Protein backbone atom coordinates (compact mmCIF):
# COMPACT_ATOMS: atom_id res chain seq x y z
CA UNK A 1 0.00 0.00 0.00
CA UNK A 2 2.84 2.36 0.87
CA UNK A 3 4.50 1.65 -2.50
CA UNK A 4 1.25 2.47 -4.31
CA UNK A 5 0.98 5.81 -2.47
CA UNK A 6 4.58 6.70 -3.30
CA UNK A 7 4.03 5.77 -6.94
CA UNK A 8 0.83 7.84 -7.06
CA UNK A 9 2.68 10.81 -5.57
CA UNK A 10 5.43 10.42 -8.19
CA UNK A 11 2.81 10.45 -10.99
CA UNK A 12 1.26 13.64 -9.57
CA UNK A 13 4.65 15.34 -9.33
CA UNK A 14 5.38 14.45 -12.95
CA UNK A 15 2.00 15.69 -14.12
CA UNK A 16 2.53 19.07 -12.52
CA UNK A 17 6.30 19.38 -12.61
CA UNK A 18 8.18 17.02 -14.93
CA UNK A 19 6.70 18.51 -18.09
CA UNK A 20 6.64 22.13 -16.95
CA UNK A 21 9.71 23.07 -18.97
CA UNK A 22 13.13 24.52 -18.27
CA UNK A 23 13.83 28.06 -17.11
CA UNK A 24 16.06 29.83 -19.61
CA UNK A 25 16.41 32.81 -17.27
CA UNK A 26 17.31 31.97 -13.66
CA UNK A 27 16.32 35.35 -12.20
CA UNK A 28 19.83 35.94 -10.83
CA UNK A 29 22.25 36.44 -13.72
CA UNK A 30 22.74 35.91 -17.45
CA UNK A 31 24.07 32.37 -17.18
CA UNK A 32 23.31 30.45 -20.39
CA UNK A 33 23.04 33.64 -22.45
CA UNK A 34 25.45 35.72 -24.54
CA UNK A 35 25.28 39.46 -25.23
CA UNK A 36 25.74 40.73 -28.80
CA UNK A 37 26.30 44.47 -29.26
CA UNK A 38 26.71 47.37 -26.84
CA UNK A 39 23.12 47.68 -25.62
CA UNK A 40 22.43 47.02 -21.93
CA UNK A 41 21.26 43.66 -20.54
CA UNK A 42 21.16 43.21 -16.78
CA UNK A 43 19.25 41.57 -13.93
CA UNK A 44 17.51 43.60 -11.23
CA UNK A 45 15.06 42.33 -8.59
CA UNK A 46 14.73 39.00 -10.41
CA UNK A 47 13.85 40.68 -13.72
CA UNK A 48 15.79 40.71 -16.99
CA UNK A 49 16.10 44.27 -18.26
CA UNK A 50 17.02 45.40 -21.76
CA UNK A 51 17.87 49.06 -22.40
CA UNK A 52 19.32 51.08 -25.22
CA UNK A 53 23.03 51.72 -24.79
CA UNK A 54 25.24 54.65 -25.81
CA UNK A 55 25.47 53.52 -29.44
CA UNK A 56 21.66 53.25 -29.79
CA UNK A 57 22.05 50.28 -32.13
CA UNK A 58 20.47 46.86 -32.36
CA UNK A 59 21.42 44.52 -29.53
CA UNK A 60 20.71 40.88 -28.76
CA UNK A 61 20.79 38.51 -25.84
CA UNK A 62 20.94 34.98 -27.21
CA UNK A 63 20.94 31.51 -25.72
CA UNK A 64 24.23 29.67 -25.85
CA UNK A 65 22.33 26.55 -26.95
CA UNK A 66 20.38 25.92 -30.14
CA UNK A 67 16.70 24.96 -29.98
CA UNK A 68 14.84 23.33 -32.87
CA UNK A 69 11.35 22.26 -31.75
CA UNK A 70 9.88 23.83 -28.64
CA UNK A 71 7.23 25.79 -26.82
CA UNK A 72 8.54 28.99 -25.29
CA UNK A 73 6.59 31.04 -22.76
CA UNK A 74 7.67 34.38 -21.33
CA UNK A 75 6.35 37.65 -19.95
CA UNK A 76 7.37 41.12 -21.06
CA UNK A 77 6.69 44.71 -20.00
CA UNK A 78 7.38 47.55 -22.44
CA UNK A 79 8.64 50.89 -21.20
CA UNK A 80 9.76 53.86 -23.29
CA UNK A 81 9.42 52.85 -26.96
CA UNK A 82 9.20 49.16 -26.10
CA UNK A 83 10.34 47.88 -29.51
CA UNK A 84 11.83 44.41 -29.25
CA UNK A 85 11.30 40.83 -30.36
CA UNK A 86 11.94 37.15 -29.73
CA UNK A 87 14.09 35.42 -32.35
CA UNK A 88 14.08 31.68 -32.94
CA UNK A 89 16.24 29.28 -34.98
CA UNK A 90 18.60 32.21 -35.53
CA UNK A 91 22.34 32.74 -35.98
CA UNK A 92 24.24 35.87 -34.93
CA UNK A 93 27.52 37.43 -36.05
CA UNK A 94 28.28 40.68 -34.26
CA UNK A 95 24.90 42.40 -34.35
CA UNK A 96 23.75 40.83 -37.62
CA UNK A 97 21.10 38.23 -36.91
CA UNK A 98 19.64 35.89 -39.51
CA UNK A 99 16.46 34.03 -38.69
CA UNK A 100 12.93 34.79 -37.58
CA UNK A 101 11.50 37.22 -35.08
CA UNK A 102 8.21 37.16 -33.24
CA UNK A 103 7.53 40.87 -32.99
CA UNK A 104 7.25 42.71 -29.65
CA UNK A 105 6.40 46.31 -30.51
CA UNK A 106 4.34 49.36 -29.53
CA UNK A 107 0.59 49.35 -30.28
CA UNK A 108 -0.53 48.66 -33.87
CA UNK A 109 2.94 47.51 -34.94
CA UNK A 110 2.12 43.80 -35.21
CA UNK A 111 3.21 42.18 -31.92
CA UNK A 112 2.97 38.43 -32.36
CA UNK A 113 3.67 38.59 -36.10
CA UNK A 114 6.66 36.90 -37.74
CA UNK A 115 9.45 38.82 -39.46
CA UNK A 116 12.46 37.35 -41.29
CA UNK A 117 15.64 39.35 -40.70
CA UNK A 118 18.01 39.84 -43.65
CA UNK A 119 15.55 37.93 -45.79
CA UNK A 120 11.94 38.26 -46.88
CA UNK A 121 10.85 40.78 -44.24
CA UNK A 122 7.31 40.38 -42.90
CA UNK A 123 6.01 36.84 -43.41
CA UNK A 124 2.73 37.17 -41.52
CA UNK A 125 1.11 39.90 -39.42
CA UNK A 126 -1.77 39.48 -36.97
CA UNK A 127 -5.21 40.45 -38.19
CA UNK A 128 -5.93 44.11 -37.47
CA UNK A 129 -8.50 43.44 -34.72
CA UNK A 130 -5.90 41.42 -32.78
CA UNK A 131 -3.63 44.44 -32.32
CA UNK A 132 -5.71 45.42 -29.26
CA UNK A 133 -4.58 42.26 -27.41
CA UNK A 134 -1.27 43.95 -26.48
CA UNK A 135 -1.32 45.57 -23.02
CA UNK A 136 1.18 48.33 -23.57
CA UNK A 137 2.83 49.47 -20.33
CA UNK A 138 1.64 46.34 -18.47
CA UNK A 139 2.82 42.74 -18.27
CA UNK A 140 2.04 40.57 -21.31
CA UNK A 141 2.36 36.81 -21.71
CA UNK A 142 3.67 35.43 -24.98
CA UNK A 143 3.78 31.80 -26.12
CA UNK A 144 5.65 30.63 -29.21
CA UNK A 145 5.39 27.08 -30.55
CA UNK A 146 7.89 26.03 -33.20
CA UNK A 147 7.61 22.49 -34.54
CA UNK A 148 8.93 21.38 -37.91
CA UNK A 149 7.93 24.03 -40.44
CA UNK A 150 5.03 25.45 -38.39
CA UNK A 151 5.12 28.45 -36.03
CA UNK A 152 2.18 29.54 -33.87
CA UNK A 153 2.18 32.54 -31.55
CA UNK A 154 -0.13 33.61 -28.74
CA UNK A 155 -0.32 36.91 -26.87
CA UNK A 156 -2.19 37.02 -23.57
CA UNK A 157 -3.89 33.74 -24.45
CA UNK A 158 -5.03 34.87 -27.91
CA UNK A 159 -3.66 33.11 -30.98
CA UNK A 160 -2.02 35.81 -33.08
CA UNK A 161 -0.66 33.93 -36.11
CA UNK A 162 -0.08 30.39 -37.34
CA UNK A 163 2.32 30.04 -40.23
CA UNK A 164 3.96 27.19 -42.15
CA UNK A 165 7.21 27.71 -44.06
CA UNK A 166 9.72 25.26 -45.57
CA UNK A 167 12.70 27.56 -44.93
CA UNK A 168 11.87 27.79 -41.22
CA UNK A 169 11.47 24.01 -41.12
CA UNK A 170 15.01 23.48 -42.42
CA UNK A 171 16.64 25.84 -39.90
CA UNK A 172 18.08 25.43 -36.41
CA UNK A 173 19.61 28.00 -34.11
CA UNK A 174 19.42 30.18 -31.05
CA UNK A 175 16.62 31.94 -29.23
CA UNK A 176 17.41 35.64 -28.85
CA UNK A 177 15.81 38.70 -27.34
CA UNK A 178 16.24 41.99 -29.21
CA UNK A 179 16.59 45.62 -28.32
CA UNK A 180 15.70 47.76 -31.36
CA UNK A 181 17.93 50.51 -32.63
CA UNK A 182 17.11 54.19 -32.25
CA UNK A 183 17.69 54.68 -28.53
CA UNK A 184 15.34 55.36 -25.64
CA UNK A 185 14.01 51.79 -25.48
CA UNK A 186 13.44 49.68 -22.39
CA UNK A 187 11.83 46.24 -22.15
CA UNK A 188 11.60 44.02 -19.07
CA UNK A 189 11.34 40.22 -19.19
CA UNK A 190 10.57 37.45 -16.71
CA UNK A 191 9.47 33.80 -16.46
CA UNK A 192 11.23 32.66 -19.64
CA UNK A 193 10.49 28.94 -19.82
CA UNK A 194 11.10 26.49 -22.67
CA UNK A 195 9.66 23.03 -23.21
CA UNK A 196 11.41 21.08 -25.95
CA UNK A 197 9.18 19.01 -28.20
Residue ranges covered by each domain of the chain: 22-196
Distance CA 76, CA 89 (A): 20
Q: How sure is the predictor about 3, in pLDDT bands with cuts at 50, 70 and 90? A: low
Give 67's DSSP letter. Answer: -
pLDDT in tens, 91-131: 999 899 999 999 999 999 999 999 999 999 999 999 999 99
Question: What's the confidence (pLDDT) of residue 155?
Answer: 98
Identify which of 81, 56, 67 has the alpha carbon closest to the alpha carbon of residue 21.
67
Backbone angles phi, psi at 120, to 5 degrees: -90, 0
Percent above pLDDT 90 for the chain = 81
Q: What fold, for 22-196?
A: Jelly Rolls (2.60.120)
As a whole number, the mean pLDDT across the chain is: 91
Q: How far apart are the C-alpha atoms of 96 and 36, rounded to whole Å?
A: 9
Q: Is the pTM value of this prediction over 0.75?
A: yes
Contact between 84 and 177 (Cβ < 8 Å): yes
Q: How far does Cα 114 stand from its chain's mean position?
A: 12
Amino acid sequence: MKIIKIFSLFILICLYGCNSGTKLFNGENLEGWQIYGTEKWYVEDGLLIAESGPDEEYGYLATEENYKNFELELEFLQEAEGNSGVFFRSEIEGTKITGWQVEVAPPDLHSGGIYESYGRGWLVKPETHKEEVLQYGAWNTMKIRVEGDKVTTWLNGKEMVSFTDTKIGEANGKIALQIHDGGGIKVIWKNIVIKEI
